[in-house]
Amino acid sequence: MTQGKIIECNAAVAYSPGKPLTIEKITVEAPKTDEIRVKVVKSALCHTDAFTLSGNDNEWPASDFKPVILGHEAAGVVESVGPNVTDLAEGDHVILLYTAECGECKFCLDHRTNLCVKVRSTQGKGLMPDGTTRFKNSKGEPIYHFMGCSSFSEYTVVSKHSAVKIDKEFDLEKAALLGCGVATGFGAAGYEGIGAAKKNNQITKGSSVAVFGVGAVGCSVLEGAKAAGAKKIIAIDTNDKKEEWARSFGATDFVNPTKLSEGENIVSKLTSMSDDGYGIDFTYDCTGNVNVMNDALMASARGTGISTVIGVAPSGAQISVRPFFLIVGRTWTGIAFGNIKGKSEMSRLIEASDKGDLSLDKYITHRRKFSEINTAFEDLHSGDCLRTVFEF
């Protein structure tokens, strides 16, 4: 029995920005009040993990890079629970949530948003809510948490607000993908009233959609647009090899902005592809490039277009636009985790998977042993990887 005891296990620790992770033995303390300890069964690699490792993350900058266990797309089994945990128990299958849901704060009580603040102030510092860590290396030195999850470890400790119980019959490999990227894009499409739909930003039947960036997030927006019944779904990417992916997830058209006709730019191209010549109904940036964010806004329809920023830009990057583009009725908005409330709405994403509206299997392009985690970062940047899933 390991309940209440310190566990020794393998973890991949980031010690320096831009350097390979170090797989080593660490210790994981028992969960404290309002915490659970989870045996991670499946974990995926997200671009946000690579972004933080690069040193460009404002919350984890290269100038103050502390030892950290990355990873936030994961599913596993509850090993033990701390005091005051009543909704989760040993043996429960869970998805880890980097966007918590306490059900009590101002933002949880507002149906329009998912930006729970219960654990946010310490989460951004790599700490548990009590201001300490549960990880130590072999020297007894603290290792920091990441996005409230730290799934690149065989065991992790998270807040009870940062995990959601799921049916034990649901495949944990698929479940891991719902911890970030796929849920983000699918929720951003406003699937059947959840996610972005709560902010009146739901793709409507017969509408036009343009998605910039055909990665896992972009593909899940495409799939959400297809499920919503959009008429024209345009995928935009500079890599022609991604056209096949885009169409398999629902795109009706594919545009490479580096291969336009003379005198054309991506905004004029997309505007010309709209039914009335006034622009696209719903546009999404999934690249994190501020110039692309501007293009997405300007390509949205005059008077009614909604442009959503999903991609995470480098630290210090800023966006700017002529106010006129907003004055004439365009809406520019952003979204985190698809505006999904992780505990109360995750079941809807699982239902979408069961119905075939969300094809989770297709996002898994690579599978690797946990010992191959550094190679997986190479996969991520290769251009032919949506998601790599690790088995521990």
Length of the chain: 392
Q: What is the pLDDT of residues 138-160, one digit of tens each?
A: 999 999 999 999 999 999 999 99
Q: Per-residue pLDDT for 383 more than 90?
A: no
CATH class, domain 185-336, is alpha beta
- DSSP letter for 147, please: T
Closest CA to 187 of 156, 227, 147: 227
d(C-alpha 339, C-alpha 116), whole Å: 11
User: For the whole model, what pTM was predicted?
Assistant: 0.96
d(C-alpha 187, C-alpha 170), whole Å: 20
DSSP-derived secondary structure for 252-300: SEEE-GGGPPTT--HHHHHHHHSSSSS-BSEEEE-S--HHHHHHHHHHB
Counting Cβ atoms within 10 Å, is residue 268 exposed (0-12), middle (13-18) or buried (19+)? Answer: middle
Residue 179's Cβ-side half-sphere holds a number of Cα atoms within 13 Å equal to: 36
User: What share of the chain has pLDDT > 90, as a percent?
Assistant: 95
Q: Where are the domains of the chain?
A: 7-179+359-391, 185-336
> Euclidean distance between the first and final Cα of the chain, in Å?
20
Q: What is the mean pLDDT of the chain?
A: 97
Q: What is the pLDDT of residues 246-301, one digit of tens each?
A: 999 999 999 999 999 999 999 999 999 999 999 999 999 999 999 999 999 999 99
Distances, alpha carbon 23 to alpha carbons 2, 27, 35, 69, 154, in Å? 22, 13, 25, 10, 11
Residue 78 has φ and ψ, to the nearest 5°, of -65, 120
Task: Tell the CATH topology of 7-179+359-391.
Answer: Quinone Oxidoreductase; Chain A, domain 1 (3.90.180)
Minimum mean pLDDT range among 218-232, 316-330, 351-365:
316-330
Looking at this protein, which amino acid is placed at residue 388?
A: T
At 152 the pLDDT is 99
Distances, alpha carbon 283 to alpha carbons 158, 198, 242, in Å? 35, 17, 18
For residues 303-328, one letter each, b for 16 or more C-beta atoms within 10 angstroms of the residue's C-beta and e for the rest, the string is eebbbbbbbbbeeeeeeeeeeebeee
At 358 the pLDDT is 98
At 357 the pLDDT is 98
CA 278 to chain centre: 31
At 376 the pLDDT is 96
Q: What is the pLDDT of residues 195-243, one digit of tens each?
A: 999 888 999 999 999 999 999 999 999 999 999 999 999 999 999 999 9
Catalytic residue positions? 46-48, 72-73, 102, 105, 108, 116, 120, 180, 387
- Whether the CB-CB separation of 28 and 39 falls below 8 Å is answered with no
Q: Per-residue pLDDT for 314 more than 90?
A: no
- The arithmetic mean of pLDDT across residues 125-141, rounded, is 98
